[in-house]
């Protein structure tokens, strides 16, 4: 129980540091990420949807690939998720979807952010 709480606190601290980087530091530097989504956004999605160590390794490898030796392009994060108990009980539910989970392999999904949702009045 202590380890789980400790890891959640570390993940929250990392997410805070990434958000501070996005809000303050990256505004003063030229856009140089070779991938979409950017490396910092990729890191946020990894730490939100994956375990600490798998997110950490994925982010490190992504940052190492973000240079002139690699082509770049679209590189959505892949997460592990079990949707066996996932269902929608009310089809008229008025909520917006911010992320889509697109199947990749068994219990593995791409995370894609929905940029075109409209809030209902």
Which of 6, 2, 81 minimizes the C-alpha distance to 49?
Answer: 81
Kindly state whether residue 22 falls inside one of the protein's structural domains: yes
Kindly state whether residue 90 falls inside one of the protein's structural domains: no
Q: Taking a C-beta distance cutoff of 8 angstroms, is the pair 103, 78 a contact?
A: no
Kindly state whether residue 69 falls inside one of the protein's structural domains: yes
Kindly state whether residue 119 falls inside one of the protein's structural domains: no
Kindly state whether residue 60 falls inside one of the protein's structural domains: yes
Question: What total of structural domains would you count in the chain?
Answer: 1
| Structural domain boundaries, residue 100 | 1-82+96-113
Kindly state whether residue 49 falls inside one of the protein's structural domains: yes
Kindly state whether residue 5 falls inside one of the protein's structural domains: yes
pLDDT (tens digit, 0 to 9) for every residue of the chain, 121 residues total? 566 778 888 889 999 999 999 888 888 888 778 888 888 999 998 988 888 888 999 999 998 988 888 888 888 888 776 554 444 444 555 556 677 777 777 777 777 776 655 554 4
Alpha helices in 21-120 (DSSP H): 39-49, 52-65
Kindly state whether residue 3 falls inside one of the protein's structural domains: yes
């Amino acid at each position: 129980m202590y380890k789980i709480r400790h890891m959640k606190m570390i993940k929250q601290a990392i997410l805070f540091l990434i958000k501070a980087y996005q809000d303050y530091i990256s505004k003063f530097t030229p856009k140089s990420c070779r991938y979409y989504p950017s490396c910092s956004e990729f890191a946020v999605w990894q730490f939100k949807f994956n375990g600490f160590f798998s997110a950490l390794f994925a982010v490190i490898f992504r940052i190492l690939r973000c240079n002139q030796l690699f082509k770049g392009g679209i590189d959505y994060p892949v997460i592990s998720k079990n949707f066996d108990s996932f269902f929608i009980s009310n089809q008229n539910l008025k909520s917006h979807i911010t992320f889509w989970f697109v199947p990749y392999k068994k219990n593995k999904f791409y995370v894609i952010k929905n940029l075109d949702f409209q809030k209902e009045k």
